[in-house]
Structure 1
Amino acid sequence: MKNDVILNKISMIERCIRRIHEEYADTPSNLKNYTKQDSVVLNLQRACEASIDLAMHIVAEKKLGLPQNSRDAFYFLENEGIISSSLSNKMKAMEGFRNIAVHDYQELNLEILQKILDNHLVDFAEYTKTILRY
């Protein structure tokens, strides 16, 4: 089921995560540097958007339903057995963070951002590997 759209979206996600690692470098104090912080947040947004695009593409290609919002796309992948319930929930949470970053940047909590960077970037790798195995 791997086509150019899927491979390109996965490549985009991987590139964004690499950039986040380069800028963050597992050093929380790097988030105090606004240029690094902006780069990290922008690449996290892009990785989230590419993940959503990937889910929407698969849902459309497999005719799994008509998502009313981004979260629905992950639900359809879960319902079809393409991703686990746990992974679906992780990706939905990441989409929620993206919404905060995009629409309410002033309220962006750096502690939450740090927790995502320290504990949840691996969720993107799990997602892309799961899609590639499908």
Structure 2
Amino acid sequence: MAEMITERKLDSLRRCLERVRRWCPDEAEALTVDVDAQDILSLNLTRAVQLCVDIGAQVLARSGAAAPQTMAQTFAQLSQEGIIAPELAERMRRAVGFRNIAIHEYDEIDWQIVHAIATRHLTDFEDFARAAVAELGS
């Protein structure tokens, strides 16, 4: 049952990343004025972060590790367990910071940063998913 839930979360993650790729304008300046793209990108990026946290918690639970106290701690623990690289854990921790701003302080979002995430850091989510799948498959 847990495997089915994790597989659904991985499918949702793939869909989120695809929507970000599809809706992200080529130039950051275009994103600053396109409210529809802003909504689509921020929603799907926040979902992607949440899905990674959920998947990470599943991996940790399966390994017998203690439950993380915060979303960011999920990635630190995965790194401590040798499941993801420390550099990836740090990038995912920063993604949690973006998620918190997007959820709690939407008016404060820097769309230049969102554009950078959408154009240069989606592979972080994919790298995380590959590591999680490898760990869950073992």
**Fold match, TM over 0.5?**
yes
Q: Name the structure 2 match of 1:22.
A: 22
Residue type at the aligned position of 2:79: E
5 Å matches for 1:4-83?
4-28=4-28, 29-83=30-84
Shift of the alpha carbon at 1:5?
2.3
Shift of the alpha carbon at 1:30?
4.1
8 Å CA contact retained: 2:10, 2:129:
yes
Q: Deviations over 1:34-76 (max 9, x none)?
A: 0111011100111011011111121122221121111111111
Q: Deviations over 1:7-50 (max 9, x none)?
A: 11111111100011111153431452101110111001110110
Q: Deviations over 1:73-105 (max 9, x none)?
A: 111111111111011111111011000000001
5 Å matches for 1:81-92?
81-92=82-93
Name the Cα RMSD after superposition: 1.5
Confirm whether residue 124 of structure 1 aligns to residue 117 of structure 2. Answer: no
Aligned residues: 133
Q: Distance in 1 between matches of 2:131 and 2:64?
A: 19
8 Å CA contact retained: 2:46, 2:99:
yes
Give the TM-score normalised by structure 1.
Answer: 0.91
Residue type at the aligned position of 2:61: A
Q: Distance in 1 between matches of 2:99 and 2:45?
A: 8
Q: Distance in 2 between matches of 1:60 and 1:130?
A: 15
Give the TM-score normalised by structure 2.
Answer: 0.89
Cα 1:106–1:84 change in 2 (3 A) is same
| Larger RCO (alpha carbons 8 Å, 6+ apart) | 2
Q: Deviations over 1:93-126 (max 9, x none)?
A: 1011000000001110111111111211111111
Unaligned runs of 5+ in 2: none
8 Å CA contact retained: 1:23, 1:30:
no
Residue type at the aligned position of 2:17: I
8 Å CA contact retained: 2:56, 2:78:
yes
Unaligned runs of 5+ in 1: none
Q: Distance in 1 between matches of 2:118 and 2:101?
A: 16
